[in-house]
A and B are shown apart, each in its own frame.
Chain A
Amino acid sequence: MLVAAAFAGSLAFIVILALYLRSKPILDTKPLSELLLNSSWLPSQGSFGLYPAILSTLYVTAIAMMIAVPLSILSAIYLAEYAKESLRRRVLPLVDLLAGIPPVVYGVWGVLTIVPFVAYIAPVVGSLGIPAAGAGRYSTGFSLLAGGIVLAIMVFPVIISITVQVFRSVPFEVREASLSMGATQWQTVKHALMRVALPGIAAAVILGFSRALGETMAVLMVVGNVFIVPSSVFDPAYPLPALIANNYGEMMSIPLYDSALLLAALILLLIILMFTLAARLILIRIERRVTVG
């Protein structure tokens, strides 16, 4: 039993160690700064610049968060503070259901609806002259924006379910105190509850962010996979997970190729572990507060 627990507890370290050992060959031959900041990805010529992929990952995640964070938090506040028990009990399982849908299905859905939608709006929005939303190239719809929208929907359940729990964990006295001073319900949420719930909301957002950062298949299917530094949300992109998924397994003939891809995996993992760790520590604090207070 203890062996099983020890194995499970050290799994994270095993994975990190293995990835590190395998990405060491490329770290030994090239400075990390070159790998991270160079934007030419020509494995056959020994050039492994991950910059466009890192940027693509950040962009697509940022778009997803811009859509998901306000929608999820507003929904969560409604569910936690406004909705009747019966509505809450009906909607929360639906949110869980959303979390259970496989990424590939989201990908199919994205290809069927979001991609044509983006292709349709790209010329219209592109002509408005909004920065970072120009349509310089012809957009097929397979783009950062499509990836961002699909990701946003995948992130909803993560942020909503945690935020609802965080709000429910705020002691009832806080609400009573605020309401008895004549505050409206929204004022109570904004001034009293938010103050208590903010770290928890931050944790929810961080967990959603990490989920989005590592999501592979759904994004891969709608984001276009062109290795460029995207300049508009209508441009295709090539995030790190997609890069690994598309190229790993067939890179054995080119020296250092697998090492470069595993370095990409390691970077991804370390970033996500850092964020998740921070979020978890916040949530553990909140849990303690609830059990103690």
Chain B
Amino acid sequence: MSVIYDPVHWTPHKKTYDRLIAAFVFAYLALFCGLQLLLHPQITAETLVIRATGTLAYLMLHIILIIGPLCRLSPRFLPLLYNRRHLGVSMFLIALVHGIFNLVQFHSLGNVDPLLSLFTSNTQFGSLARFPFQSLGFFALVILFLMAATSHDFWLKNLSPPVWKALHMGVYAAYAMLVMHVMLGVVQLEKSPVLIALTGAGMFTVIGIHLAAAIRQSGKDQGSVRKKISGRDMETQQQAADSDQMFSGFVYACEVSDIADNRAKMLTISGEQIALFKYGNKLSAVHNLCKHQNGPLSEGKIIDGCITCPWHGYQYLPENGQSPPPFEEKVCTYDVRVLGTKIYVNPKPYPAGTPRPAALIAE
């Protein structure tokens, strides 16, 4: 978190993460180029650079894409998510080298401008076999550029989280274009089934992990759904009568014992995703999505009295949904009531940052 513009808000973990990225990049390039020169000494320097950077960027994109769903499957992979944006920017820079070398190699020093050549040398869009695959790579690179250029909390704040998130979901469009870029490009030349299988394996890994995470999340979401109650659902008619006024609009959430101390339970009530926290003998509810990158606050923890997002550590006070000063992020708050061991939540949200008294759990 940062309240002033800071190019990179360095933490020890980010430094370690970046060192690992650098080591990975250099190790891959050294290995790939070394093997190429050993097994194919006839290769030209330009082709070596194009293939080394192309395969590396493509591989890194796969890693980037599986980190998100991997963290949904097990939060223990969250350290990989913490500085993923540096991995993304590194991948873009490597892809940019690949793109520039391709533009120079295949389109420069000709009778038309290189960029014009890129779009006019092959216009056979109607044929899959002859499809101008390089234009797919170009448009994917444009998307990756927009993502890399806005991979900073400055842009997140100024574009607003929903716009920023939508922009960064463009990575899936870029990935789809790059799969086609590879399949309609180099795979058309390199007929080896091993290379086709590798491309397929990468694609199925990305899709498979996303599906597994989606299925798991769907199960969680269904488990979190709560429906509005009627008096008959209350323990006794007397309780219903006594609580008609007090519990109007409230929905049964769970038992007090269902929530671990300093942890939360996610609820979905009337489409509203709510994180219900228990801390000490108190209960508070806030909107489930972190203002930073829509991280699931219900998977967070109360640390130093603050709800702490599991993704990047953004914090909110449970009783008003406000980040502690000097930070300014706010989430919606909800009313919570306790009746015996049962917790009820009113799904009507208060404006972000509205203080609501915590419900007290009877001793």
A binds B: no
